[in-house]
C-alpha cells in the first residue's frame, strides 16, 4: 500500500505492508531511530510522537492509518540551528533524563500535555504522564522539567 | 587502614550542579542504541523458547521454517553443539563444591524454564524470523516443574539429573569471639526476635530491552559485537573463552544503553549466538529482544526467603545476629548468580555495632524458573530489608521508638575507621547525623504526634511512619579480597588521560555508563585536577578497541574505582608535565607548583608556564628533558585498598486505607551520604531513581509464576512498573563524610536509594497497622495483600482476645 505522510515537515511517499506499525515505518523505512520501542502492549510510551499535533503511541497505529497526516518525531523538535525545544531544554536543565531511552517519548508526551494544560500542577503532570514509563529517574526530575517548561 | 588526604577543589568544579554533556544527543534522538544501528546485509535472529518450565526435547523439526521465503537458516540446540568451546560462564563459584549445571546458549535435551531457548532462525527481517518460529515443530515431554524453593530442596524432582540434587551450594559465615558465642548470646539475651521475610522475584525492566548485533570480517577474522550491555570488557573476555576465538580479534561495543540495573551485567545466550552464527555464515547477525521475551530471557532479581534472628540485651543493644537464607538461583547459574546473596552476607548487622557473634548461612537451590542474578543493589537490598525490618520488630519487643532502637545500636562515629565483626573495615560514617537530619527534614516528632491524633477508632485511615538506615557497600576491592570470596575477576579500574597538543583532554575510561553521566562527572574530575574547562574534556568509553582495559559499570563502583583512576591518571600527567615545565623554566621540579592550569616557580610567580604550552611542547618534542618520552598522556590501573561504605537514613510516611487496603505514600525523605559529591545534580538523580525502584518492590512489583512455572506477569501491562502518578516526589538531603581511602573522598551512590527504600516503606505500612496486631506485610504490599493481612490480623486479634 502506498502512503503519504509529512514527517518533521518533509513529505514522504512510501510503500508499506498492511501490518507495519507507524513506529516501525518511522524507524526502519525512514531511518529515524529517535523514537524508541519499550514494550509490546502499548504500556510504556517510549514510542510517543505527535500526529496532527497530538501525542500518540506510534506502536498503536498502523502506518496506513497515518496516511495523509503530519507527524512530528523527536528529531523534529530542536531548531535547525541546533537550539533545543523549550521542553528539551527544561529536561536538560532539570536532569530529567538518565539513560535517555524513555526521553523522546516523554518529551513528546509532555509537550502535548502542556498544550492542553499550559499551567499544570505537579499532580496534573504526574497524571498526564501516566502512560509513559521511566525506569531511571523515579520521575521526580521529569516532573520538575515539565513544570519548569510550563513556566518558561 | 591507610588513609589518604582528600586533594580536590583546586578550582571549584567539583561539587557544581553541572548540566550533563550526554543530554543533547539523548534529547534529540541523535543517540544510537544498539537496535538503532543500521547494518547493511544483517540477518535477524529469533529464538524459539520453551513454553514448558521443564520438559524433555524429543524432536525438533525445522523443515517447514526453512521453506519459508526470507528464512536463511534454522538450527536446533543440537545442531550448534560444536560451536561452543566452553559452556556459558559463571564467574563466581562461591564454594569449592558448588554445583553448576552445564548451560549452553540453546538447550539440547531438556528445557529448564519457560523461555529457555531450544531453536533459532536467521531471516532477512525480524518479522520473518519471528513468523518462522511458529513453523518449527518441537515435541516435548513435559516434566513436573519445580517452582518453589522448599520443593526444590526436597529433591523430589531433580532438574539437572547429572548433579544429583537441586542444591547448588551452602555458604557459611560464622564469626564468633569464642566458640559458641552466638548460642550463648541468644541464651542470655533479654530480648530476641525471629522473623521470616520473602524477597519476591523482580523483573529489572530496563526501558531498553536487550539488543545484539555481531558484525564479522570473514576474511580478516575480526569480529565486532555490539550489545546493549553494562560490561563490554567482561563480555569480550567471555566471548573469546566460550567461543574459542582469539581475544585480540574480538571487539565489543556498547552503544547508547537504555538502562541496565544489573540486568545487563551478564553474558547472554543471544550474544554468543549472534557471534557464533555470524562467523558461521559470514554475515552480520542481529537480535532484538521483545518486552515479553525480556521478562523471561533476561535475568530476574531477588528471589530469597530470609530467616533472621536478633539477640539483644536489656537496653535493646544487639548481642548476636543469626541468618538463614534460601536463595533461588533459577534454572542455571548466569554470570554472577550464586554470588548475589553472598554480597549481602556481611550486611545483616546493618549499620550497627555487634560483637563477634554472627552466624550467616545461605543455601541456594535450582528451580525451573528464569535464572536470577544482579538487580540494583544485588544482595544488599535484601540484607538491609531483613535487618531493618527486624530492628523494628526489636523496637516493638523493647517498647521503644524505631528511631531510638537504631540510635542505641549505631556504630559510633568516633569508632571509624571501624573494624566490623567480619574483619571488613568500614571507611567512614556518621549514622546519627544522617538519622537526625532525616528526622528533621520529615519532622519525625511532629509526624508521631499527628499519628497519635489521627489514628483513632472511627477513622478509616491509618498513618504510618517508616525508618530505615543502611550501608551501600560498593566498589568491591581490592582484587585479593575478591579472590578470597572466589570471585572470578578483579576489582580494579583503568583510566587514561591524554592532553592533546591544543590542550583539549581525552579521557579513556574502563567504566561503561548507561545513564549515570560519567562523561560529565569524569570531565569535572579532570577539569578540577588539570585546571581546564570541563567542556574541553572528552570522555571515551564502552568500546574495547578504544578502551581496551576495564571492568565496566555495576555495583556502584564506577566513581569510587573508575573516577578515582581518572584522578590518579591526571596526577601522573601533571608529574610528567612538571618535568617538562621545570626543564623549560630552568628550575628544579621540587620548586614548581601547579595551580589553575599553570606551573610556576615558588617565590617567583612571573616564571610560569601554562599547561597548554607544555602540552604543545610535549607534542613537538623539540625541547624535552633528556630521556623523557614525547606526548602528554598517562594510564592508571587502580585497585582500591577497600570497599567504600556509603550510608544513610530514609524515612517516609504512608496512609493506609483500612477499607481498601490501599497504601498512599505521602512523603519520602532520603538522606544519603556518599562522601564528596562530584555533581550533586547527578547524585540526586541516582537517589530518586533508586528510591523509586525500592518503592516499586515494596508496593507494586512481583514476577508471579503459576504452579507450572509460567510467568503470568510477562508484559508491562501485567508487571506494575510504577508510573509518575504512582510515586511521590522524593525529598533528598545529604551529609558529607568523605571516604579516607581515596583522594577524591568519594563513595558510590547508584544503589543506595534502592537499598534504603523497601524497608522504610514496609516499616511504615506495618507501623500504620500495629494497633491491629499486624507485624508483617508481604511485598508487594498491594491493596489486596494489605487488606488480607489486616483482616487476618483482626481475626486473630479478636479470637486471641476472647480466648
Ligand atoms: S512501545 Fe509503544 S507504548 Fe511501549
Ligand atoms: S531515563 Fe532511562 S528510562 Fe527514563
For domain B35-148+203-297, which CATH number applies: 3.90.1170.50, 3.20.20.80, 3.30.70.1900, 3.40.30.10?
3.90.1170.50
In terms of Cβ atoms closer than 10 Å to its own Cβ (0-12, 13-18, 19+), residue B161 is: exposed
Where does CATH 3.90.1170.50 sit in chain B? Answer: 35-148+203-297
The three state secondary structure string of B573-633 is: HHHHHHHHHHHHHCCCHHHEEEECCEEEECCEEEEEEEHHHHHHHHHHCCCCCCCCCCCEE
DSSP single-letter state for residue B660 = T
For domain B305-475+642-798, which CATH number applies: 3.30.70.100, 3.30.365.10, 3.40.50.1860, 3.30.70.270?
3.30.365.10
> Which residues, including other chains, have CB under 8 Å from residue B31's CB and lie 6 or more apart?
A100, B25, B256
Query: Domain A86-151 has what CATH class?
Result: mainly alpha
Q: Which residues of A touch B26 (CB under 8 A)?
A: 97, 99-100, 103
Nearest to A34 among B20, B29, B292 (CB): B29
The neighbouring-strand residues paired with B637 are: B494
Nearest to B724 among A31, A92, A139 (CB): A139
Q: Is the CB of A43 under 6 A from ligand 1?
A: yes
How far, in Å, is the centroid of ligand 2 from the Cα of B713?
Answer: 21
Distance from CA of B512 to the nearest CA of A (A): 12
Q: What percent of chain B has pLDDT over 70?
A: 98
pLDDT at residue B802 in the model: 39
Grid cell, residue A67, equals 496516511
Strands B505-509 and B537-540: parallel
Please tell me which residue of chain B has the smallest CA distance to A20: B127
Q: Among A38, A46, A102, name the best residue to mutate to test ligand 2's pocket (greatest count of ligand atoms within 8 A of Cβ).
A: A102
Nearest to A129 among B29, B32, B724 (CB): B724
pLDDT at residue A91 in the model: 98
- Give, in order, the Cα–Cα distances in Å from B183 to each of B43, B187, B188, B357, B421: 63, 6, 9, 9, 16
pLDDT at residue A131 in the model: 97
Q: Which residues of A touch B292 (CB under 8 A)?
A: 40-41
Where does CATH 3.30.365.10 sit in chain B? Answer: 23-31+492-638, 305-475+642-798
Q: What percent of chain B has pLDDT over 90?
A: 94
pLDDT tens by residue, A73-119: 999 999 989 899 999 999 999 999 999 999 999 999 999 999 999 99
Helix (H) or strand (E) holding A14: strand A10-15
Domain positions in chain A: 2-75, 86-151
How far, in Å, is the centroid of ligand 1 from the Cα of A43?
Answer: 6
How far, in Å, is the centroid of ligand 2 from the Cα of A104?
Answer: 10
Mean pLDDT for chain A overall: 97
- Mean pLDDT of the region B82-100: 97
Cα torsion through B382, B386, B387, B393, rounded to 10: 160
Cell 550501608 found at: B471
Cβ(A119)–Cβ(A150) under 8 Å? yes
Rounded to whole angstroms, the Cα distance separating A91 from A93 reads: 6
What is the CB neighbour count within 10 angstroms for residue B221?
Answer: 11
Please tell me which residue of chain B has the smallest CA distance to A107: B27
Chain B touched by A129 (CB under 8 Å): yes
Grid cell, residue B233, equals 570488557
Cβ(B80)–Cβ(B133) under 8 Å? no
pLDDT tens by residue, B108-165: 999 999 999 999 999 999 999 999 999 999 999 999 999 999 999 999 999 999 999 9
Residue B213's pLDDT band, with cuts at 50, 70 and 90, is very high
DSSP single-letter state for residue B352 = B
pLDDT at residue B11 in the model: 67
Q: Given an 8 Å threshold on Cβ–Cβ distance, is A136 in contact with B207?
A: yes
Range A2-75 has CATH code 3.30.413.10: no
pLDDT at residue B801 in the model: 43
Grid cell, residue B635, equals 594510564
Grid cell, residue B167, equals 542444591
Residue with the smallest CA separation from ligand 1 atom 3 is: A42
Grid cell, residue A3, equals 502512503
Cβ(B497)–Cβ(B522) under 8 Å? no
Quick check: helix, strand or coil at residue B273?
A: helix
Q: Is the CB of A44 under 6 A from ligand 1?
A: yes
Distance from CA of B382 to the nearest CA of A (A): 20
Chain B touched by A98 (CB under 8 Å): yes
> Which residues, including other chains, have CB under 8 Å from residue B23's CB and lie 6 or more apart?
A91, A92, A97, A100
Grid cell, residue B250, equals 574480538
Cα torsion through A32, A37, A43, A46, rounded to 10: -50
On the CB side of B676, CA atoms within 13 Å amount to 26
Chain B touched by A108 (CB under 8 Å): no
Rounded to whole angstroms, the Cα distance separating B130 from B124 reads: 11
At B688, phi and psi to the nearest 5? -55, -50
Helix (H) or strand (E) holding B195: strand B191-199
At B365, phi and psi to the nearest 5? -135, 155
> Which residues, including other chains, have CB under 8 Å from residue B73's CB and lie 6 or more apart?
B43, B66, B121, B122, B277, B281
Q: Is the CB of A56 under 6 A from ligand 1?
A: no
Mean pLDDT for chain B overall: 96
Cell 573516577 found at: B563
Comparing C-alpha atoms, which of B354, B371, B372 is closest to residue B308?
A: B354
Residue B22 has pLDDT above 70, yes or no: yes
Q: Given an 8 Å threshold on Cβ–Cβ distance, is A77 in contact with B19?
A: no
Residue B7 has pLDDT above 70, yes or no: no
pLDDT tens by residue, B718-736: 999 999 999 999 999 999 9
> Does ipTM surpass 0.85 in this model?
yes
How far, in Å, is the centroid of ligand 2 from the Cα of B245?
Answer: 35
- Substitution target from B256, B724, B758, B761 for chain A, most A beta carbons within 10 A: B724
Rounded to whole angstroms, the Cα distance separating A103 from A35 reads: 9
pLDDT tens by residue, B357-401: 999 999 999 999 999 999 999 999 999 999 999 999 999 999 999
How far, in Å, is the centroid of ligand 2 from the Cα of A134?
Answer: 5
Rounded to whole angstroms, the Cα distance separating B264 from B256 reads: 13
Residue with the smallest CA separation from ligand 2 atom 3 is: A134
- Mean pLDDT of the region B594-623: 94
Cβ(B34)–Cβ(B213) under 8 Å? yes
- Substitution target from A121, A140, A143, A149 for chain B, most B beta carbons within 10 A: A140
Comparing C-alpha atoms, which of A47, A27, A29, A26 is closest to residue A37?
A: A47
Q: Which residues of A touch B206 (CB under 8 A)?
A: 99, 101, 135
Q: Which residues of A touch B205 (CB under 8 A)?
A: 135
Q: Given an 8 Å threshold on Cβ–Cβ distance, is A135 in contact with B721?
A: yes
Rounded to whole angstroms, the Cα distance separating B442 from B464 reads: 13
- Substitution target from A98, A108, A111, A127 for chain B, most B beta carbons within 10 A: A98
Dihedral sign for Cα atoms in the order B330, B331, B332, B335: negative
Grid cell, residue B701, equals 512489583
Q: Given an 8 Å threshold on Cβ–Cβ distance, is A40 in contact with B291?
A: yes
At B193, phi and psi to the nearest 5? -130, 150
Please tell me which residue of chain A has the smallest CA distance to B717: A43
Give me the architecture of the B23-31+492-638 domain, per CATH: 2-Layer Sandwich (3.30)
Q: Is the CB of A57 under 6 A from ligand 1?
A: yes
What is the CB neighbour count within 10 angstroms for residue B636?
Answer: 21
How far, in Å, is the centroid of ligand 2 from the Cα of B683?
Answer: 15
The neighbouring-strand residues paired with B193 are: B310
pLDDT tens by residue, B496-513: 999 999 999 999 999 999
DSSP string, B477-498: --HHHHHHTT-SS---EEEEEE
Rounded to whole angstroms, the Cα distance separating B532 from B632 reads: 15
pLDDT at residue A98 in the model: 98
Chain B touched by A61 (CB under 8 Å): no
Nearest to B723 among A39, A103, A130 (CB): A130
Residue B2's pLDDT band, with cuts at 50, 70 and 90, is low
Strands B663-673 and B731-734: parallel
Cβ(B102)–Cβ(B22) under 8 Å? no
Q: How far is CA B351 from the centre of its chain?
A: 20
Q: Among A21, A59, A102, name the best residue to mutate to test ligand 1's pocket (greatest count of ligand atoms within 8 A of Cβ).
A: A59
Cell 494489605 found at: B786
Nearest to A138 among B35, B516, B692 (CB): B692
Considering only residues A152 and B225, tell me which one the structure prediction assigns the higher pLDDT.
B225
Cβ(B51)–Cβ(B716) under 8 Å? no
Amino acid at each position: 500500500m502506498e502512503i503519504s505522510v509529512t514527517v518533521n515537515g518533509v513529505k514522504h511517499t512510501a510503500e508499506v505492508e498492511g501490518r507495519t506499525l507507524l513506529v516501525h515505518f518511522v524507524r526502519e523505512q525512514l531511518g529515524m531511530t529517535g523514537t524508541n520501542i519499550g514494550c509490546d502492549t502499548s504500556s510504556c510510551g517510549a514510542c510517543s510522537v505527535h500526529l496532527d499535533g497530538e501525542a500518540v503511541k506510534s506502536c498503536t497505529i498502523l502506518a496506513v492509518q497515518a496516511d495523509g497526516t503530519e507527524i512530528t518525531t523527536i528529531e523534529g523538535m530542536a531548531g535547525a540551528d541546533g537550539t533545543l525545544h523549550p521542553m528539551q531544554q527544561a529536561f536538560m536543565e532539570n536532569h530529567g533524563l538518565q539513560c535517555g531511552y524513555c526521553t523522546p517519548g516523554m518529551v513528546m508526551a509532555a509537550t502535548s500535555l502542556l498544550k492542553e494544560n499550559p499551567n499544570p500542577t505537579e499532580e496534573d503532570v504526574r497524571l498526564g504522564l501516566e502512560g509513559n514509563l521511566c525506569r531511571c529517574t523515579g520521575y521526580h526530575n521529569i516532573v520538575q522539567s515539565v513544570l519548569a517548561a510550563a513556566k518558561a | 587502614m591507610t588513609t589518604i588526604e582528600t586533594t580536590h577543589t583546586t578550582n571549584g568544579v567539583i561539587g557544581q550542579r553541572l548540566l550533563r554533556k550526554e543530554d543533547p544527543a539523548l534529547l534529540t534522538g541523535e543517540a544510537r542504541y544498539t537496535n538503532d544501528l543500521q547494518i547493511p546485509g544483517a540477518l535477524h535472529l529469533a529464538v524459539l523458547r520453551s513454553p514448558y518450565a521443564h520438559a524433555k526435547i524429543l524432536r525438533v523439526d525445522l523443515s517447514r521454517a526453512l521453506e519459508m521465503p526470507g528464512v536463511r537458516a534454522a538450527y536446533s540446540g543440537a545442531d550448534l553443539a560444536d560451536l561452543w568451546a566452553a559452556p556459558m560462564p559463571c564467574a563466581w563459584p562461591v564454594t569449592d563444591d558448588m554445583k553448576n549445571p552445564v548451560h549452553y546458549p540453546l538447550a539440547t535435551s531438556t528445557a529448564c524454564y519457560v523461555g529457555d531457548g531450544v531453536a533459532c532462525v536467521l531471516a532477512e527481517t525480524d518479522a520473518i524470523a519471528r513468523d518462522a518460529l511458529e513453523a518449527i515443530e518441537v515435541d516435548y515431554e513435559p516434566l513436573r516443574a519445580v517452582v518453589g524453593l522448599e520443593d526444590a530442596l526436597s529433591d523430589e524432582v531433580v532438574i539437572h539429573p547429572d548433579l544429583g540434587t537441586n542444591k547448588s551450594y551452602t555458604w557459611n559465615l560464622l564469626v564468633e569471639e569464642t566458640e559458641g558465642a552466638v548460642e550463648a548470646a541468644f541464651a542470655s539475651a533479654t530480648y530476641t526476635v525471629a522473623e521470616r521475610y520473602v524477597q519476591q522475584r523482580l523483573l529489572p525492566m530496563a526501558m531498553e530491552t536487550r539488543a545484539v548485533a555481531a558484525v564479522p570480517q570473514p576474511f580478516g577474522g575480526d569480529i565486532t559485537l555490539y550489545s546493549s550491555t553494562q560490561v563490554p570488557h567482561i563480555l569480550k573476555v567471555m566471548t573469546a573463552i566460550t567461543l574459542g576465538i582469539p581475544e585480540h580479534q574480538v571487539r565489543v561495543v556498547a552503544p547508547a544503553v537504555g538502562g541496565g540495573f544489573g540486568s545487563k551485567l551478564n553474558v547472554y545466550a543471544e550474544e554468543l549466538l549472534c557471534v557464533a552464527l555470524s562467523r558461521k555464515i559470514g554475515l552480520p547477525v542481529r537480535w532484538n529482544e521483545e518486552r515479553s521475551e525480556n521478562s523471561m530471557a533476561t535475568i530476574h532479581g531477588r528471589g530469597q526467603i530470609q530467616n533472621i534472628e536478633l539477640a539483644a540485651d536489656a537496653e535493646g543493644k544487639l548481642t548476636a545476629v543469626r541468618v538463614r537464607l534460601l536463595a533461588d538461583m533459577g534454572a542455571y547459574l548466569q554470570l554472577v548468580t550464586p554470588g548475589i546473596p553472598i554480597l549481602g552476607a556481611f550486611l545483616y548487622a546493618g549499620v550497627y555495632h555487634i560483637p563477634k557473634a554472627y552466624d550467616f548461612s545461605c543455601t541456594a537451590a535450582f528451580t525451573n524458573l528464569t535464572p536470577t542474578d544482579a538487580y540494583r543493589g544485588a544482595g544488599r537490598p535484601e540484607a538491609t530489608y531483613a535487618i531493618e525490618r527486624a530492628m523494628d520488630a526489636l523496637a516493638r519487643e523493647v517498647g521503644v521508638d524505631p528511631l531510638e532502637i537504631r540510635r542505641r545500636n549505631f556504630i559510633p562515629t568516633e569508632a571509624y575507621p571501624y573494624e566490623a565483626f567480619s574483619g571488613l573495615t568500614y571507611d567512614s560514617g556518621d549514622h546519627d547525623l544522617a538519622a537526625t537530619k532525616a528526622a528533621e527534614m520529615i519532622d519525625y516528632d511532629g509526624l508521631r504526634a499527628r499519628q497519635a491524633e489521627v489514628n483513632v477508632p472511627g477513622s478509616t485511615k491509618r498513618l504510618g511512619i517508616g525508618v530505615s538506615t543502611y550501608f551501600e557497600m560498593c566498589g568491591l576491592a581490592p582484587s585479593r579480597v575478591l579472590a578470597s570470596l572466589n570471585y572470578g575477576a578483579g576489582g580494579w579500574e583503568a583510566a587514561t588521560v591524554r592532553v592533546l597538543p591544543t590542550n583539549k583532554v581525552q579521557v579513556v575510561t574502563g567504566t561503561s555508563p548507561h545513564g549515570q553521566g560519567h562523561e560529565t562527572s569524569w570531565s569535572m574530575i579532570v577539569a578540577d585536577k588539570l585546571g581546564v574547562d570541563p567542556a574541553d574534556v572528552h570522555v571515551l568509553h564502552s568500546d574495547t578497541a578504544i578502551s581496551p582495559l576495564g571492568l565496566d559499570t555495576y555495583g556502584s563502583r564506577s566513581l569510587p574505582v573508575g573516577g578515582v583512576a581518572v584522578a590518579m591518571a591526571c596526577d601522573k600527567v601533571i608529574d610528567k608535565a612538571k618535568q617538562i615545565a621545570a626543564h623549560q623554566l630552568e628550575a628544579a621540579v621540587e620548586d614548581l607548583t601547579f595551580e589553575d592550569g599553570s606551573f610556576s616557580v615558588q617565590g617567583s610567580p612571573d616564571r610560569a608556564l601554562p599547561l597548554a604550552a607544555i602540552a604543545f611542547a610535549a607534542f613537538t618534542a623539540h625541547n624535552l628533558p633528556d630521556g623523557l618520552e614525547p606526548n602528554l598522556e598517562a594510564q592508571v590501573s587502580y585497585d582500591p585498598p577497600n570497599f567504600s561504605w556509603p550510608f544513610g537514613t530514609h524515612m517516609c510516611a504512608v496512609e493506609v486505607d483500612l477499607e481498601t487496603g490501599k497504601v498512599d505514600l505521602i512523603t519520602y525523605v532520603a538522606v544519603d551520604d556518599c562522601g564528596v559529591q562530584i555533581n550533586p545534580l547527578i547524585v540526586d538523580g541516582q537517589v530518586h531513581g533508586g528510591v523509586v525502584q525500592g518503592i516499586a518492590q515494596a508496593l507494586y512489583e512481583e514476577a508471579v509464576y503459576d504452579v507450572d512455572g509460567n510467568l503470568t506477569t510477562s508484559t508491562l501491562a501485567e508487571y506494575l512498573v510504577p508510573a509518575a502518578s504512582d510515586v511521590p516526589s522524593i525529598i533528598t538531603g545529604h551529609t558529607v563524610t568523605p571516604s579516607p581511602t581515596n583522594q577524591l573522598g568519594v563513595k558510590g551512590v547508584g544503589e543506595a536509594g534502592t537499598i534504603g527504600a523497601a524497608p522504610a516503606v514496609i516499616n511504615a505500612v506495618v507501623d500504620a497497622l500495629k494497633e491491629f496486631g499486624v507485624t508483617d506485610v508481604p511485598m508487594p504490599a498491594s491493596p489486596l495483600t494489605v487488606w488480607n493481612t489486616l483482616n487476618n490480623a483482626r481475626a486473630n486479634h479478636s479470637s486471641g482476645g476472647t480466648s
